[in-house]
Amino acid sequence: MIFADLFFLYFFLPICLILYFVFKKLKTKNTILIIFSLVFYAWGEPLYVILLLFSAAFNWFMGLMIGRNRQNERNAKISVAVAIAVDLLLLVIFKYTGFLVENMNGLFHSAIPVPQISLPIGISFFTFQAISYIIDCYWETVKPQKSFKNFLLYLSLFPQLIAGPIVRYSVVENEIMKRKTTISDISEGAMRFIVGLAKKVIIANSLYAVVKQFFGDVNADQYNDISGLSFLGTWFVVIAYSLYVYFDFSGYSDMAIGLGRIFGFHFNENFNYPFICKSISEFWQRWHISLSSFFRDYLFYVPIFGKPRKYLNLFLVWFCTGLWHGAAWNFIFWGLYFGLFLLFEIKLGKKRMKKWPLAVKHIYSKLVIVIGFGIFCFSDMTQLGNFFSNISGMSMIFRGGSFADQLTASAFVGNIFLLIIAIVVSMPVLQKLKYFFFEWGNNVVYTTGKVLGAVGCAYLLLMCSILLVDATNNPFLYFRF
């Protein structure tokens, strides 16, 4: 089940909301959320819901063991090590077994059968949430949750279960056991959800149609041969793809945060207008914040051979960032690619970068980001090579490729308004409008903003509903991870 689906919007969610708000006791509300969360997950993963339940039970128990062994450092460390090892083992088995076997066969010229293990949806997200909980229990950042029911609610909460953000237990620890939803929460949450839905259905899906026309169905690893695509054509499509990834993933995060708000939870932001960045380090402070902060807090400062090693830890962080996104070499290259530019910026120093003209900083960061998403796009190494050949202009020199082509020109003209809207919405325009209407202090302006916001959201919901009538397959990109 996905958010961008008429069944979810007009059947599953309304029933969940009605039952949730009919009952007054928080324990009953939590039970309803657990039941609906498990149904939500089992709808697409009827067997793997057992894996989710096992992960919840195991990590809840290990958290209790860590709490009981606070006075015994050795036993506490053993409990942490066992918990993390089991969590990572499950992730490796279900996500990376095929990738490891394929590479072993290629490296040792063996013929080990490659197992076909379907990837449990959301395993990367709920596994990392469990790991963060275990480490925080050991660091005494949080207290071990004594109630399995409460911990299951944390790990399985359906708004963020499938594709994040990676919510740390410390963020919702108090709200699990003590929260209430106000009219403001419902209003703000609903508006946030609808904006996220519009990002996905209206903008992201339209951008993906452009990408699919040229690059193929990249989300299904079905690529077109792009060796004949022109220089400008390649740049045009990879820019569209970069915007698509942003709107698809940030749209889901907006919906998750909005739904959480309706139920009284306040999740941290996962995106903060990343395309306004002026450096790659700033980009990763704004993009998929929950993942980058996870690796920063739990891996970057980990002592290796007795002490933290800055550059080795930097390599590990970005190797793991790439690998987290998928069992393919292009994701590893993508992570290390960004790691190299972050290393470049560290060595260059903030003072030197501040002296760069603003236009240069924007051009530099956008070029690096867009090319990076090209690496992210192609798991097929042949097409990835064609992508670099095209985007660098080498195809024009060595293969007689073209600078521009008529098909790209037609696609550009036909989608120019879509691109303009996507670029404008990726900037903090809505944030500034919200500030003007709701924080300016004028009652007339405030009331006008409320009316315009309600009408605008109603219109967006109607448009999304119409577009979803004929939608047969509408998955989110990050369901793959």
Q: Give, to the nearest 10 degrees, the angle between helix 381-392 and helix 329-348.
A: 40
Q: Which of 288, 283, 282 is nearest to 268 (CA)?
A: 288
CB-CB contact of 245 with 477 (8 Å): yes
Count of C-beta atoms within a 10 Å radius of residue 248: 24
Q: What letter would DSSP give residue 145?
A: P
Alpha helices in 393-442 (DSSP H): 394-398, 406-414, 416-425, 429-438
CB-CB contact of 41 with 122 (8 Å): yes
Indicate the pairing of strand 222-223 with strand 216-217.
Answer: antiparallel
Element (H, E) at 216: strand 216-217
Q: What letter would DSSP give residue 5?
A: S
Q: Which of 408, 432, 17 is nearest to 233 (CA)?
A: 408
Side-chain-side CA neighbours of 465 within 13 Å: the count stands at 11
- The full DSSP string for 98-167 is HHHHHHHHHHHT--------PPPTTHHHHHHHHHHHHHHHHHTSSPPP--HHHHHHHHH-HHHHTT----
Spatial distance between the Cα atoms of 430 and 39, rounded to a whole number of angstroms: 34
Q: Which two tokens stand for residue 379?
A: 């798991």
Place of tokens 């709920």: 126
Q: Which of 193, 192, 203, 152 is nearest to 13 (CA)?
A: 193
Biggest CA–CA distance in the chain, Å, is 74
Local structure of 343: helix, strand or coil = helix
Place of tokens 């609903």: 190
Spatial distance between the Cα atoms of 154 and 169, rounded to a whole number of angstroms: 7
Q: What angle do CA 252, 427, 197 make, to 5 degrees?
A: 25
Residues annotated as part of the active site: 325
Spatial distance between the Cα atoms of 379 and 333, rounded to a whole number of angstroms: 10
Local structure of 269: helix, strand or coil = coil
Spatial distance between the Cα atoms of 232 and 211, rounded to a whole number of angstroms: 14
Residues 6+ apart with CB under 8 A from 99: 327, 328
Spatial distance between the Cα atoms of 316 and 233, rounded to a whole number of angstroms: 35
